[in-house]
Amino acid sequence: MFYEEKLKFYHTAFEDYLDSFLKSLNDNLITETIKYPLMVGGKRIRPILLLACGEMLGVGLDKTLPFALALEIIHTSSLVHDDLPALDNDNFRRGQPSCHAKFGEFAGILSGDALLNLAYELVLSKIEDKKDVECVKFLSQLTGYNGMLGGQYLDVYCEKNNISHTDNLKEIQFKKTACLIIAPSVLASILADNKYRENLNNFGYYLGITFQIVDDILDCESNAQILGKSVGKDRLSGKLTNVSVYGLEKSKQQVKEYTKRAIDSIINIENSKFLVELAKRLAERIN
Ligand code: GRG
């Protein structure tokens, strides 16, 4: 019960904060296209990770919530762009029409841009000290050309050019997905004066790689109703994935291996029980 209660607490804290933030936005024509992809749901893994890592290190919600929301906004902007015809071309996301399917392609492009910008508007408006500045810098690095955006570029490049090299797979998993999962754990550490920074970096890294491997497995084994997004597209498009390189069985083995490494990175930290359980649940997730 301990785990469910905590999860609900973090989830509610995040949704309430998101709700009041969205209410504070000016009601321009574009605002609807910003609110829609944020409000249609999602698991909120990245913000929950940040709130939980923060609590473990003694950092309060007043400090972690703005960064947690910025992370979710950045993640959402990446999904909006990922669904565009030029990228993954998908009309279905989080169980609903994707942003461009609902509002048009021009809106998908501009909404994704506006969301990315909004994340930085939010955190820059909350700057109080040097740690906050370091957090913004770190966040922008993990999101940018050396991080998530660079990973997505490589991913699409490999797909379009039929490249299936294992080194590229590793780089894609790290940059495209793990960077935005390393972000919450390390941001919490920065806010706590770099406490356990290396442990938390490793935790985020292994959790992030696992997250992408599970994503690849679910694309083969799940269905659109449970997943809330299209399935089976990776194989059809000849995408470079963990499953295309290692197969399903080996991929499942790797999930166990990397989850253990993630857990080992934080197991000795006081009050890490929730995060250890979260890592186990993410390895077994069905959506
Ligand atoms: C505009 C910032 C910006 C980026 C554009 C398109 C792109 C660059 C990046 C996409 C990166 C991407 C789609 C990575 C996949 C990561 C992943 C496994 C996403 C699914 O995350 P979940 O399962 O989704 O947490 P929910 O819907 O639950 O939030």
Give the pLDDT band (50/70/90) at residue 237.
Answer: confident
Integer CA distances (angstroms), 167 to 5, 148, 225, in order: 40, 16, 33
State which ligand 1 atom lies nearest to the alpha carbon of 143: 2
Strands 96-97 and 92-93: antiparallel
pLDDT the model gives residue 236: 87
Integer CA distances (angstroms), 204 to 73, 78, 164, in order: 19, 19, 25
Q: Decide if pLDDT at 277 tops 90.
A: yes
Backbone angles phi, psi at 188, to 5 degrees: -60, -40
| Closest residue by CA, ligand 1 atom 18 | 212
What is the pLDDT averaged over residues 255-268? 98
**Distance, CA 180 to ligand 1 centroid (Å)?**
9
Q: What is the rounded distance in angstroms from the CA atom of residue 214 to the CA atom of residue 283?
A: 7
Pocket of ligand 1 (CB under 6 A): 42-43, 45, 74, 77-79, 81-82, 87, 94, 112, 116, 148-149, 152, 176-177, 211-212, 215
Mutate to test the pocket of ligand 1, among 152, 171, 210, 230 (most ligand atoms within 8 A of CB): 152
Q: Give the tokens for residue 216.
A: 């690849």
**Distance, CA 265 to ligand 1 centroid (Å)?**
25
**Distance, CA 270 to ligand 1 centroid (Å)?**
31
pLDDT, tens only, 150-165: 999 999 999 999 988 8
| Closest residue by CA, ligand 1 atom 29 | 42
| Closest residue by CA, ligand 1 atom 17 | 177
Burial class (CB in 10 A: 0-12, 13-18, 19+), 264: middle
**Distance, CA 127 to ligand 1 centroid (Å)?**
26
Is residue 156 within 8 Å of residue 234, measured between CB atoms?
no
pLDDT the model gives residue 41: 85
**Distance, CA 268 to ligand 1 centroid (Å)?**
31
What is the pLDDT averaged over residues 134-152? 98
Q: Decide if pLDDT at 111 tops 90.
A: yes
| Closest residue by CA, ligand 1 atom 3 | 78
